[in-house]
């Protein structure tokens, strides 16, 4: 189901109206006469709705990422696999571990999976449960998310927990790749908090560390 939260409402309504007019004209002038000549009945109203829904669905997943077409949405394309480090504090001690952040995004929603590995080669991952992208006063976009980490079933010290992230999207330019940087905190039995800094590695997602 499409969520138009990140769409520019006025432009979206205008596009839907233009699509409806264009499709209705095409059906009336070409499609319906052709089908009738073949002895096939065509219900125009349901046909219009179905075609518009298919076009919007295709736009939502594919077209919105292309230049010009993205003018219909209010958020940037953040999707991809980011590689970097997490600097954290746990039980009064500071540490660092590798991480990957994978962002799967359409024009209407975003999902984030994160993968971690510490100095003991213990791997764990988390997935976002609630997400939001907002443009801040300085013009940059921040991603707010609430996530669940299942912990590590081998090492009981990596317990299942929930947490929250704030990640800032820094677009690429001639000197650097796109970045996701920010901070997080958890509700672990012994609370953890830290900072995240990652850089876009690829637009392809792996679904693992």
pLDDT in tens, 34-87: 877 877 776 555 567 888 999 999 999 999 999 889 999 999 999 999 999 999
What tokens appear for 32 in the block? Answer: 């319906």
Q: Would you tell me how many other CB atoms lie within 10 Å of the CB of residue 72?
A: 18
| 3 state SS of 48 | helix
Mean pLDDT computed over every residue of the chain: 89
Average pLDDT of the segment spanning 113-130: 87
How buried is residue 10: exposed, middle or buried, by Cβ count under 10 Å (0-12/13-18/19+)?
Answer: exposed
pLDDT at position 98 is 93
pLDDT digits (tens, 9 = 90+) for 9-20: 999 999 999 998
pLDDT digits (tens, 9 = 90+) for 76-120: 999 999 999 999 887 778 888 999 999 999 999 999 999 998 767
- 153 — pLDDT class (breaks 50, 70, 90): low
pLDDT at position 45 is 55
CA distance 118 to 78: 26
Q: Is the pLDDT of residue 198 over 90?
A: yes
Residue 91 DSSP class: T
Question: Which residues are within 8 A (CB) of 156 and not within 5 positions of it... i.e. 6 or more apart?
Answer: none
Task: List Cα–Cα distances, 146 to 25, 83, 194, 202, in angstroms.
Answer: 46, 20, 15, 24
- Domain annotation for the chain: domains and CATH numbers: 9-72 (no CATH), 80-202 (2.40.128.20)
- 170 — pLDDT class (breaks 50, 70, 90): very high
pLDDT at position 48 is 78
Contact 169, 138 (CB under 8 A): no
pLDDT at position 7 is 96
């Amino acid at each position: 189901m499409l969520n138009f939260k990140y769409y520019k409402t006025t432009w979206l309504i205008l596009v839907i109206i233009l699509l409806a007019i264009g499709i209705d004209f095409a059906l009336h002038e070409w499609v319906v006469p052709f089908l009738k000549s073949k002895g096939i009945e065509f219900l125009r109203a349901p046909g219009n709705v179905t075609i518009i829904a298919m076009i919007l669905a295709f736009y939502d997943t594919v077209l919105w990422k292309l230049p010009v077409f993205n003018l219909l949405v209010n958020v940037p394309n953040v999707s991809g696999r980011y590689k970097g480090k997490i600097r954290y504090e746990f039980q009064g001690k500071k540490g660092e571990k590798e991480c990957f952040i994978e962002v799967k995004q359409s024009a209407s929603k975003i999902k984030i999976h994160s993968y971690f590995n510490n100095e003991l080669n213990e791997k764990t991952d988390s997935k976002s449960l609630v997400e939001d992208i907002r443009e801040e006063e300085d013009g940059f976009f921040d991603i707010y998310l609430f996530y669940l980490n299942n912990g590590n079933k081998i090492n009981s010290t990596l317990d299942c927990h929930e947490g929250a992230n704030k990640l800032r999207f820094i677009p690429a330019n001639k000197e650097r790749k796109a970045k996701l940087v920010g901070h997080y905190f958890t509700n672990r039995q012994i609370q953890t908090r830290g900072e995240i800094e990652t850089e876009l590695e690829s637009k392809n997602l792996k679904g693992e560390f």
